[in-house]
């Protein structure tokens, strides 16, 4: 019996040590799983932020692409107009003779007109002066027409430069957004790879947690069984000891009762009592 109890105590001690070790491993793997889960959640939040920024950049890309293309179309239309003006200028120069300084021609026209108004000039000479004035005015008119073409050409050229700058500005912003989004795509891909790897690590941690949890439960069930067996053995041992004690007490009581009966017979027959008789009788009376 004692050997069985001692053996059970050793087994129980060993099982308790196993439980401590298993529980430590179980909690360790659970903590790892939770830490990985937290890291995955953090990375998913990071991807969401990047995607939000990516959506904003994509909207900017679309806007800048539209603005660039709009300005490029204006440039294309203006280039077509300036080509027409170039052709008009060439035709004008080809068909019209332009000589002299327009400012000098205007001064000369004013001088001749003033001369007619102030001086008394013979009719023939005045007629020649008027013909000269008309010729000068025609020459100046050619200058004026040509100047209109040049001015329009310069204006369109300036507009072309303005819209080209605007188109280039939007093109630069478009390229910048595309570069940033390319970086965002790379980061999303790298983070996604990390999440996949962490997901596998999490599965391993969870599997180990479940395995250790199962081993913990099985070991705990064994411990409960051993404790029940130990308790049963101790109860049986207690009952047996109680039975032996009861038998011993009953035996003592039987002997004592027999002695008391003998003492009472002695007293009844007025026989002399021994010291032992007196002790036994005194104990029975107390």
Q: Is residue 23 part of a domain?
A: yes
> What is the domain count for the chain?
1
Dist CA 14 CA 131 (whole Å): 135
Altogether, the residues listed in the chain come to a count of 286
Q: Provide the 8-state DSSP code for 232.
A: H
Domain assignment present for 226: no
pLDDT above 90: residue 104: no
Per-residue pLDDT at 3: 64
Q: Which two tokens stand for residue 178?
A: 């595309």
Report the Cα 128 to chain-centroid distance in Å: 93
User: Is residue 71 included in any domain, yes or no?
Assistant: yes
> Residue 205 has what pLDDT?
96
Beta-carbon contacts of 177 under 8 Å, excluding residues fewer than 6 positions away, are 57, 58, 60, 61, 64
Asked if 167 contacts 72 with a C-beta cutoff of 8 angstroms, the reply is yes
- The region of weakest confidence among 52-56, 70-74, 91-95 is 91-95
Q: 10 Å Cβ neighbour count for 201?
A: 16
User: Is residue 228 situated within a structural domain?
Assistant: no
Query: Which tens digits make up the pLDDT trace of 195-218?
Result: 999 999 999 999 999 999 999 999
Answer whether residue 197 is part of any domain. yes
Q: Which residue has the tokens 């939000």?
A: 52
Two tokens at 152?
Answer: 């329009």
Whether 134 is covered by a domain: the verdict is yes
Q: Left, alpha or beta for 24 (phi > 0: left; psi -120 to 50: alpha)?
A: alpha
What is the DSSP code (8-state) at residue 72? H
| SS3 label, residue 120 | coil
The tokens for 221 are: 């069930």
Please write the tens of the pLDDT for every residue from 139-188: 767 667 777 877 888 899 899 999 999 999 999 999 999 999 999 999 99
**pLDDT of amino acid 162:** 94
Per-residue pLDDT at 140: 63
Q: Is residue 213 part of a domain?
A: no
| 279 CB burial (10 A radius; 0-12, 13-18, 19+) | exposed
Q: Domain for residue 81, yes or no?
A: yes
For residue 187, the model assigns a pLDDT of 95
**54-78 in b/e burial notation, b at 16+ Cβ within 10 A?**
beebeebbeebbebbeebbebbeeb
Per-residue pLDDT tens for 2-34? 568 888 889 999 999 999 999 999 999 999 999
Domain that holds residue 187: 19-202
Residue 148 CB partners (closer than 8 Å, separation 6+): none
């Amino acid at each position: 019996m004692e050997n069985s109890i001692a053996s059970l105590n050793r087994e129980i001690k060993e099982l308790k040590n196993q439980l401590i070790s298993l529980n430590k491993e179980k909690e360790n793997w659970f903590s790892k799983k939770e830490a990985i889960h937290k890291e995955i959640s953090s990375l998913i939040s990071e991807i969401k932020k990047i995607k939000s920024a990516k959506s904003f950049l994509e909207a900017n890309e679309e806007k800048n692409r539209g603005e660039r293309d709009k300005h490029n179309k204006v440039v294309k239309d203006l280039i077509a107009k300036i080509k027409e003006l170039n052709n008009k200028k060439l035709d004008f120069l080809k068909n019209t003779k332009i000589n002299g300084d327009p400012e000098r021609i205007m001064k000369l026209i004013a001088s001749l007109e003033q001369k007619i108004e102030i001086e008394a000039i013979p009719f023939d000479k005045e007629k020649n002066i008027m013909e000269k004035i008309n010729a000068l005015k025609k020459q100046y008119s050619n200058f004026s027409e040509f100047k209109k073409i040049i001015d329009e050409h310069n204006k369109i050229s300036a507009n072309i430069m303005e819209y080209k700058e605007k188109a280039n500005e939007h093109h630069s912003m478009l390229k910048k957004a595309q570069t940033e989004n390319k970086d965002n795509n790379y980061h999303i891909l790298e983070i996604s790879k990390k999440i996949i790897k962490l997901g596998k690590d999490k599965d391993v941690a969870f599997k180990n947690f479940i395995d250790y949890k199962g081993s913990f439960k099985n070991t705990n069930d064994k411990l409960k069984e051993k404790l029940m067996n130990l308790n049963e053995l101790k109860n049986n041992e207690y009952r047996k000891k109680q039975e032996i004690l009861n038998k011993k007490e009953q035996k003592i009581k039987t002997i004592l009762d027999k002695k008391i009966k003998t003492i009472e017979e002695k007293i009844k027959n007025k026989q002399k009592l021994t010291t032992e008789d007196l002790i036994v009788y005194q104990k029975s009376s107390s």
